[in-house]
Amino acid sequence: MPPLARLLHLADSALPTGSFAYSYGLESSLTFGLLRSETEFRAYLYSFLQQAVGFELPFVTSAATVPAADLGTLLLEYDAQLLTPALHRASLAQGKSWLKLLATFYPEAGLAELGDELAGCQLPAHFVPLFGLSLARTGFALADSQLTYLHLTLRDQLSAAIRLGLLGPMAGHRLQHDFYGVFENLLSAADIRPYTEATRCTLLIDVAQILHDDIYSRLFQN
């Protein structure tokens, strides 16, 4: 099967990795009035993607190329920068599910053994670094991994916005189509920046994420 088809499978929203279960601060942003319109959501979404490029993508990139001896340091650095309890829990849960799934799809990549090793060393198996590491081990190109991560970030935010009633399905997918046009510029800024240069740039999104545990969730209501 061509690599593109396999990558599309891994990006399928039906893949049970738990990405649908958490809005990464969007729900609390709506609840507390930080977002009130589609125009404000568009600006929020661009800021969210900028943060993904500035903070998460350097870890995706570095994890794909880091020597095995330095992996623990990278994972602990990412763990130390996740200060929001809900986000920290979601990241670990999603990382565990992602590694388990890919270990069944690509047993030759040694991902099951990697999971056992991380657990034995009590290292945090967070989704973002494991995403880059696992795709590299299964033979996907780094540029494709970066693009796929950004696609997942965009899709999950728009899916949450539709489920929360901020956007209708057609408006949400039109917005997703429009944002693919800015991916090239965002990714050119990411380049091959190492995780030691990762930065967080969206204070209000971080605050909204902190407040997530204090809201009555509507994500699973019709």
For residue 170, give the CATH number of its domain. 1.10.4190.10
Is 220 inside any structural domain?
A: no
**Tokens representing 31?**
């609840």
Q: Which amino acid is at 113?
A: E
pLDDT single digits (tens) 112-166: 999 999 999 999 999 999 999 999 999 999 989 999 999 999 998 999 899 888 8
The number of folded domains in the chain is: 1
State the residue range of the domain holding 31. 3-9+24-214
- Check residue 37 and give its pLDDT: 87
Q: What is the average pLDDT across 94-112?
A: 93
Is 17 inside any structural domain?
A: no
Is 18 inside any structural domain?
A: no
- Check residue 222 and give its pLDDT: 44
- Check residue 30 and give its pLDDT: 85
pLDDT single digits (tens) 177-210: 999 988 878 887 656 688 998 888 777 777 777 7
Is 135 inside any structural domain?
A: yes
Percent of the chain with pLDDT over 90: 49
Sorted by sequence, the CB contacts under 8 Å of residue 27 that are 6+ apart come out as 160, 164, 212, 215, 217, 218, 219
CA atoms within 13 A on the CB side of 35: 25
Provide the 8-state DSSP code for 222.
Answer: -
Place of tokens 């929203």: 13
- Check residue 124 and give its pLDDT: 96
Is 19 inside any structural domain?
A: no
Mean model confidence pLDDT for the chain: 86
pLDDT-based confidence at 62, cuts 50/70/90? Answer: very high
pLDDT-based confidence at 21, cuts 50/70/90? Answer: low
